[in-house]
Amino acid sequence: MADLTAFTSADHPVRKWRKVKDKIIESILFLAALSSVFVTIGIIYILVSESLPFFQHVSFKEFVTEKEWTPMFSEAKFGILPLVVGTFMATLIALTVAIPLGTITAAYLSEYVKPNVREMLKPILEMLAAVPSVVYGYFALLFVTPILQKFLPELGGFSVLSAGIVMGIMIIPYISSLSEDAMRSVPTHLREASAALGSSKFQTTFRVVFPSAFSGISSAYILGISRALGETMVVAIAAGMQPNLSLNPLEPASTITAYIVQVSLGDLPHGSIGFQSIYVAGLTLLIMTLIFNVLGMWIKVRFQEKE
């Protein structure tokens, strides 16, 4: 026990040791925080430094305007557009599935279901997120595609549509779980205020709870978008790995991530242009994800200001 009868002087060993202890703890925390910053900087450094030689062979103009991406062909073409468009298409289809279903699921779990049923349903839903994405890939290829072919006979074996839908199912739990937390943290007194004005439960949920929770829900959507942009296996397996500048979801395509695994699986010599193209593709994806996150952050701040 410290002696509490007198105040210590500034040079008292107890005081000195206290100061040193504080400094040590502060340094440890600082280093921990710094390490993640270093990793990020390291990743960016590698991506950029490996990408620079690529642009000595290929002009930036060709990179953004060329309509074909065929680094493996003898007459190689390096237009990133097919991969960017494929990535966007797959993400868009995934979000068309995941945002409505994820939001409705969240609203149901947060507002409608009794607590004991909710505790039962949530682990089942979270299992969707625990399934390895390779499994989802084959689920798309062997289960969803054949079903889609019943309705769309012109659909081939590989398509962005099938990959996108399954990717959407895969990210439902990410969206629903965060959205549900946001909705549940809306105070009860707002629900009561709404009910007291004669609202139905549905009106209360979508006119009061949803907008009040929107800043949290938008974080869930941003996470969903990031997951979809970065998802690899489902598209690699089910979308056909054929870079294809087309807005038709029934056609096969490739995405940036799918291209990266495709090339990484082969044995390209280090320093070859094909090898460098992986880094360029990765850098492009990083920039795309960054733009989305900044956009999302901006939307979120706009909404928080209004509250």
Rule CB under 8 A: choose which of 123, 153, 198, 269 binds another protein. 198
Site string for another protein, 89-128 (x = CB under 8 A): -------------------------x--------------
Closer of 132 and 187 to another protein (Cβ): 187
Rule CB under 8 A: choose which of 40, 65, 96, 200 binds another protein. 200
Q: Does 189 bind another protein (CB under 8 A)?
A: yes
Q: Least separation, in Å, of the C-beta of 218 and another protein?
A: 14
Closer of 186 and 283 to another protein (Cβ): 186
Question: Judged by CB under 8 A, which stretch of 103-111, 130-138, 190-198, 233-241 contacts another protein?
Answer: 190-198
Q: Does 270 bind another protein (CB under 8 A)?
A: no
Q: What is the DSSP string of the chain?
A: ----SSPPPTT-HHHHHHHHHHHHHHHHHHHHHHHHHHHHHHHHHHHHHHHTTHHHHS-HHHHHH-S-B-TTSSS--B--HHHHHHHHHHHHHHHHHHHHHHHHHHHIIIIIS-HHHHHHHHHHHHHHHHS-HHHHHHHIIIIIHHHHHHH-TT--SS-HHHHHHHHHHHHHHHHHHHHHHHHHTS-HHHHHHHHHTT--HHHIIIIIIHHHTHHHHHHHHHHHHHHHHH--HHHHHHSBS-------TTS-B--HHHHHHHHHHS-PPTTSHHHHHHHHHHHHHHHHHHHHHHHHHHHHHHHHHH-
Q: Does 194 bind another protein (CB under 8 A)?
A: yes
Question: Judged by CB under 8 A, which stretch of 144-152, 194-202, 233-241, 283-291 contacts another protein?
Answer: 194-202
Residues of this chain that interact with another protein (CB under 8 A) are 114, 187, 189-200, 203, 207-208, 211-212, 306-307
